Amino acid sequence: MTLTRIVGGEVLDANGRRKTDLVVNDETGLIVDTAGEQVLADLELDATGCLVLPGLVDIHAHLRQPGSELSETIESAALAAAVGGYTAVVAMPDTDPCVDNAAAVNDVLALAKAVKCEVVPAGAATRGRKGVDLAPVGELVAVGVRLFSDSGSTIQNAGVMRRVLEYVDGIGAADGLQLVVAQCPQMDTLTGLMNEGALSSTLGLSGQPALAEELMVARDIGLAQLVGARLHLQGLSTAGSVEAVRRAKASGASVTAEVTPHHLVLTEQACATYDPNTKVSPPLRTETDRQALWAGLADGTIDAVATDHGPCPADSKERPFDHAPFGVIGLETALPLLATEIESGDIKARIQLDQVIAALSWQPAAIVGLSNRHGGPLVPGASANICVFDPNKTWTLNRSTMVSRSSNTPFAGRELHGAVRHTVFAGTPVVANGAVVDSTGTDGAAVGS
C-alpha cells in the first residue's frame, strides 16, 4: 500500500473551490479520511498554485484497437489520456472488428485491464454500424456497455433510429440501468470536406452545409421525444444545433450534447492552408458558430466537452486534403487548449474556467453513468481519480513529445497557458510533474522524496 499526499493545491469540484490537501490510497483506490489525525504519506505530489480536479472524463474517443494499432492502441491512448488529465475514456465501437457483440467488448476490456485509465467500451447501436439491423443491446448491456453509438457513421434511416432509441430505452428500463443512445448527427447526402460557404467556394473544396447537421439534430431530438428516450448528441458544431438543443431542453426533452475542443478553438479559416490536420468531421465552422458553442457551454445547453480523439497515421495526413482521413487527436491537449482559449478575447467574458472543468469532468461522467467512480466531489471515501492542473504554466505543444501513437493535431507549435501536472488514477500517480510515471515505479518513488 502506498499513500500519496497531494499538497498545497486548491480543490475544484462540483462542490466548488476550497484549499485542502488530499491523501489517496493506491490499494483501495479511494481518498483517505484524514479527519482529526495526522496521516503519514509515502509520496507527496506538489500542487502549489494548482487546481486539484476530479479526473477528466472523455465520452467520445477513438482508440483504434483492435484494427488500427499503427494509429493508436489502448495502451498508448491511455497514456495520452493520463497526460491530458483524464481518468476515464469511453472507447467508440468503430474498430475493426466493430464492437457490436459481447466478445468484442470483452476483448477491449481485457486490454483495458492493463492500463492506468478506465477504458469504457461503447457498443454499436446497429450491427456492423451499418444503420440497418439492431445491435444485440441486451447482450452488450450484460458485459457492461451503457452507451450505444454508431460513432463515425450516422444512422440515416429515421425508422431504424426510432427503433434503436425505443429498444435501448426499453432494455434500460427493464434492467434498471441508465442507458443512452449517442449519435454524431450528419446527413450523409449533404456531406463535404469542410464547412460550406464562401471559403469552401474559394478553396475549391466541397462543402458540408450547417444544415447537414441541423436537419439530423432536429430529426433525432424529435424521435427521442416521440419515443420518450434519452439521446446524447455528439460533436455538435453549428449555432443552429446549439439552438435546437436549447429549445429541446426547455421543452423537457431528455437530451444531452457535447462539443469538441477543436470546434471551440478553431474555425474554417484553419482549412485555408489545406493542412489535412484541419480536416475533421463535422467540419470546423464559422466564428459565429464557434461563439455559439461557447455560449451553449456557458448556459448549460452543452453538457460536455469531448475530444473525438481520432488518431491517424502520419502518412495519411500527408495526402491531398480530399484524400486524407478526417480526425484530430485531442486527449493530451483538451484542458490546456480550453484554459488558454478562455484567457482570450470574447470567450473570457462568456465563461469561467470552473464551467469548462465541469464540462470536462462530472457532467460527462453523469451522461455515461460513471459518476460513482469519476468526476465526483473529492471527499474522503470517494474514488481517487484526480487531475492536478497548473493554470500558470506556459508551454509549447510539440508533436515529437506527444505520447499518442499519432500526432495529427492542428495545434502543434501553439503556445498553451496551463498544463496538467499530475494525474492520479485509482490512488496511483500515473502522471507526475508532467511526465508519465514509469510503470516500474522508479519515477514515482522520486516524486515525493
Which residues contribute to the site for another protein (CB under 8 A)? 196-198, 200-205, 207, 209, 272-275, 315-316, 318-323
205 contacts 192 by C-beta, under 8 angstroms: yes
In angstroms, the Cα distances linking 117 to 84, 90, 245, 287, 331 are: 11, 10, 31, 35, 12
The whole-angstrom separation of Cα 232 and Cα 180 is 7
CB atoms closer than 10 angstroms to residue 142: 13
Q: Which is nearer to another protein, 196 or 303 (CB)?
A: 196
Cis peptide preceding 282, ω within 30 of 0:
yes
Residue with cell 462540483: 14
Q: Which is nearer to another protein, 322 or 354 (CB)?
A: 322
Which residue in the list 13, 308, 346, 390 is annotated as catalytic?
308
Q: How far is the CB of 296 from another protein (least distance, A)?
A: 25
Q: How far is the CB of 315 from another protein (least distance, A)?
A: 4
Q: How far is the CB of 322 from another protein (least distance, A)?
A: 5
Q: Which is nearer to another protein, 272 or 379 (CB)?
A: 272
Q: Which is nearer to another protein, 27 or 318 (CB)?
A: 318
Q: How far is the CB of 190 from another protein (least distance, A)?
A: 11
- DSSP label of 88: E
Q: Which is nearer to another protein, 207 or 364 (CB)?
A: 207
The whole-angstrom separation of Cα 329 and Cα 183 is 19
First-last CA distance in the chain? 17
Would you list the DSSP string of 263-326?
HHH--GGGGGG--GGG--SSPP--HHHHHHHHHHHHHTSS-EE---B----GGGGGS-GGGSPP
3-state secondary structure of 209: coil
Q: How far is the CB of 209 from another protein (least distance, A)?
A: 7
The whole-angstrom separation of Cα 274 and Cα 421 is 34
Q: Would strands 10-13 and 3-7 be described as parallel, antiparallel, or unpaired?
A: unpaired
Q: How far is the CB of 271 from another protein (least distance, A)?
A: 9
- Rounded (10°) angle between helices 210-227 and 239-250: 20
Q: Which is nearer to another protein, 201 or 251 (CB)?
A: 201
Q: Which is nearer to another protein, 275 or 343 (CB)?
A: 275
CB atoms closer than 10 angstroms to residue 204: 10
Q: How far is the CB of 400 from another protein (least distance, A)?
A: 16
Closest CA to 11 of 51, 39, 38: 51
188 as an active site residue: the answer is no
| Residues belonging to the active site | 308
